[in-house]
Homo-oligomer: A and B are copies of this chain.
Amino acid sequence: MKIIGVDSAVYSVPLAVPVSDSTHGEMAFFELITVRIKDDQGCEGLGYTYTVGAGGLAIHCLIDRYLKPGLLGKDPGRVEEVWSWMWWKLHYAGRGGPASFAISAIDIALWDMAGKRTGEPLWRLLGGNNPRVKVYAGGIDLYFSLDALKEQTRRFLAQGYGAVKMKVGRPKLSEDVARVAAVRELVGPDIPLMVDVNMRWTAEQALRASRALAEFDIFWLEEPIIPDDLAGHIRIAKEGPLPIATGENMHTFYEFQNFITAGAVSFPEPDVSNCGGISVWMKVARLAEAHNLMVTSHGVHDLHVHTLAAVPNASYLEGHGFGLEKYITHPLRIEKGEAIAPDRPGHGVDLIWEKLEAHRTK
């Protein structure tokens, strides 16, 4: 079995409604980088990753110019071996950044092929715990008016979500407190409510906020500070009342290892599209399990519904497709606050290429 084709493309996918957070400002589009891998047995897998607006063409370049030549001819079923080869091929200018995104996209395609080859959906192939995964609605709403925030929250509940996340990190902590109070009042006491800072604070600010927000029963405090500050996370986790989620900006298995073993994170949040793929996501989930921690996800919910359905220590799935749902033949099914992992072979995501074509940039 040999890889005979590696085709990568880049699309600039507009968002229906521009979103905003404390770090990235207003985002009107996402870059989608796709890769289709074919083997000599007629099997084709789809991988993809995305950015919030910068770097997509560099990711494509790494796939197309540096990885593709060596991938051709390799056995697509030896995912670990291919993964290590990619890691070391890109290592000198790698160990994270766009290199991790490129590796992730290819790893996802290889796992999709493994599912298709065996006829199994990924959630079964990867372990098979429970296809029904609790899902929360991830709002990207920092600069929404309070009315718009409440309106969005009502819509999330009407859509069947049983948990919601909102952004915090406004210029004044009092604004964050007022907005969180309003959303908690709206959803009542039984809906889990997460808050996401997108790295805006220092450890001191995070501790002050953690204490101020605790009365609203916050499920987790996400990315309070930059992911580079391990010592800061340990302080916030130990001295503050709220559990910490982080990981969407961590691009290696080792970064998660450092945080998990140090007690710096309660809910590790790897993203298959940039942590190194499904291979690394699963390793992080197992490491979390070994530390008696629940694992969550970030973005690309069509893929994470599988990885979370595979493991026994699944926390909530983030429900956010970043505009991609319009370009997928079978968008994620959500029923009564649960996302359902599909039984189609592989990840079961088929992109509507004709519709994407208008947004192609490479």
Whether A288 sits at the interface, judged by CB under 8 Å, is no
Tell me which residues across on chain B come within 8 A of A54, comparing CB atoms.
66, 89-90, 92-93
Whether A58 sits at the interface, judged by CB under 8 Å, is yes
In whole angstroms, how far apart are the Cα atoms of A30 and B320 in the complex? 42
Query: A58-99: which have CB < 8 Å to B?
Result: 58-59, 61-62, 65-66, 88-99
The smallest C-beta distance from A41 to any residue of chain B, in angstroms, reads: 29
Query: A134-151: which have CB < 8 Å to B?
Result: none
Q: How many residues of A contact B (CB 8 A)?
A: 43
Number of copies: 2
In whole angstroms, how far apart are the Cα atoms of A23 and B87 in the complex? 12
Instruction: State whether A249 touches B95 (Cβ < 8 A).
Output: yes
Instruction: State whether B23 touches A91 (Cβ < 8 A).
Output: yes
Query: A95-129: which have CB < 8 Å to B?
Result: 95-101
Given contacts A58-B62, A226-B254, A230-B258, 18 further A-B contacts (CB under 8 A): A23-B88, A54-B66, A54-B89, A55-B90, A55-B92, A57-B61, A58-B65, A93-B98, A93-B101, A94-B97, A95-B249, A95-B251, A96-B97, A96-B251, A97-B99, A97-B100, A228-B255, A231-B261
A interface residues (Cβ-Cβ under 8 A, vs B): 23-24, 51-59, 61-62, 65-66, 88-101, 226-231, 249, 251-252, 254-255, 258, 261, 274
